[in-house]
Amino acid sequence: MKNQIFVSIMILAMLIITVGPPALLAQDADQTTFGTWDAVKAIQPGQKLALKLKNGRDVKGTLNNATDSGITLGRGSKAVTIGRDEVQRIFLETKMSSGRPALLGALIGAGIGAGGIAIAAAADDTGGTDGELTGVVIGVALAGAGVGALIGSIFRNKKKLTLIYEAR
């Protein structure tokens, strides 16, 4: 009976570790799409933008205004106007949710915790009951999930850049 529990937990841990991360780390499809200058003009004032200029410089700021001839960004108390012909790429900057990295960390932590206890329990022949073993495995898996979620949310990317314009 002890071996059946061990095998079940190991299979579950391996499924979580191998199947979970690719689905969680998949990129959003809209991250690589970009439009015309009309897409830039449609952005609401106050949005944070990151510009890559044709001369290699990077400019970040808050959108004040976008016209056919250029874009005006607020940078602190100053406003900077950049001509449309100077812009290579424009990215919209948004804050990332901590949910995806926290979930990934929780899955990995739970798998490592459950797998480690299951391996230790399989090697131990002291005769603990199956109910005790199951309780310990579940408890350690939950603790591992909590620690993994905390670590995942701490080390997440804070910003997401979405390409909205690229000069042709």
Averaged over 111-131, what is the pLDDT?
Answer: 70
What distance in Å separates the CA atoms of residue 6 and residue 117, rounded to the nearest whole number? 9
Summarised one tens digit per residue, pLDDT across range 17-51 is 655 554 444 444 343 335 788 888 989 999 999 99
Residue 82 has pLDDT above 70, yes or no: yes
Sign (positive or negative) of CA dihedral 4, 10, 14, 16? positive
